[in-house]
Amino acid sequence: MKKMITVLLTIALLLSSVSALAVTRDFGMIKITEVMASNGETLDDSYGKSCDWIELKNTSDDDIDMSGLNMSDGKKNLAKFTFPEGVVLAKGAYMVVFCADYEKVETLSDGTVEIHVPFKLSADGEKVVLSYQDVILDIVRFDKQTKDVSYALKDDGTWAYCDTPTPGADNKFE
Ligand SMILES: [Ca+2]
Ligand SMILES: [Ca+2]
């Protein structure tokens, strides 16, 4: 019986170390995939507000602990928002961040994490920047935006206006 318990404990320890390894902080694998700087009817936050939004994707094969990753709308102040402890983006998953001009990170009743960051996106064009410790990891520059048309990453790595926005899902061009 004692041996059995030891074996089970060993398996439990192995499993916990495996799952710990599966959460990385490989921020270079977090990509900006879609941006909307003039949101009218496309997407509301849980308060019913149509804030501008940024879509991120975890392109790695591991879940990523986002804590410490910075986000901004320019290069002068890279850390307008820093992801707090406890935000994990699952492998292959998308996250939509609302650009609301105030900071709030909360878990909704359905278990999803809703993030509002303290800056807005200008429909006249600006940037979205991901960084860690002053190193820029991903940056997207966009020009003038039209209401409810997103600016989205294509499979070939280029960006284009997209009139079929897909916040939180694979980009789609028609
Ligand atoms: Ca701005
Ligand atoms: Ca999308």
Residues of the chain short of pLDDT 70, as ranges, are: 1-21
Measure 76 CA to ligand 2 centroid, in angstroms.
Answer: 27
How deeply is 134 buried, as exposed, middle or buried, from its count of CB atoms within 10 A (0-12, 13-18, 19+)? exposed
pLDDT at res. 22: 74
Domain membership flag for residue 19: no
Ligand positioned closest to the Cα atom of 162: 2
Give me the domain span that covers residue 28.
24-162
Measure 8 CA to ligand 2 centroid, in angstroms.
Answer: 43
Measure 116 CA to ligand 1 centroid, in angstroms.
Answer: 14
- Return all residues near 100 (Cβ < 8 A) that are at least 6 apart: 45, 49, 51, 116, 117, 118, 120
Measure 5 CA to ligand 1 centroid, in angstroms.
Answer: 57
Domain membership flag for residue 134: yes
pLDDT at res. 10: 53
Domain membership flag for residue 13: no
Domain membership flag for residue 94: yes
At residue 6, the 3 state secondary structure works out as: helix
What is the spatial distance between Cα 116 and Cα 103, in angstroms, rounded to a whole number?
5
Measure 127 CA to ligand 1 centroid, in angstroms.
Answer: 8
CATH of the domain at 54: 2.60.40.1260
Domain count within the chain = 1
Q: How many CB atoms lie within 10 A of CB 150?
A: 27
Ligand positioned closest to the Cα atom of 36: 2
Nearest to residue 123, comparing CAs of 44, 50, 38? Answer: 38
What is the spatial distance between Cα 75 and Cα 68, in angstroms, rounded to a whole number?
17
Domain membership flag for residue 32: yes
pLDDT at res. 8: 56
Domain membership flag for residue 93: yes
Nearest to residue 43, comparing CAs of 104, 109, 97? Answer: 97
DSSP string, 76-137: SSTTSEE--TT-EE-TT-EEEEEE-SS-EEEE-TTS-EEEEES----TT-EEEEEEETTEEE
Ligand positioned closest to the Cα atom of 142: 1
Domain membership flag for residue 6: no
The model's pLDDT over 94-115, given as tens digits with 9 standing for 90+, comes to: 999 999 999 999 999 998 899 9
Measure 85 CA to ligand 2 centroid, in angstroms.
Answer: 25
Domain membership flag for residue 15: no
Phi, psi angle pair for 11, to nearest 5°: -60, -45
Ligand positioned closest to the Cα atom of 72: 1
Ligand positioned closest to the Cα atom of 55: 2
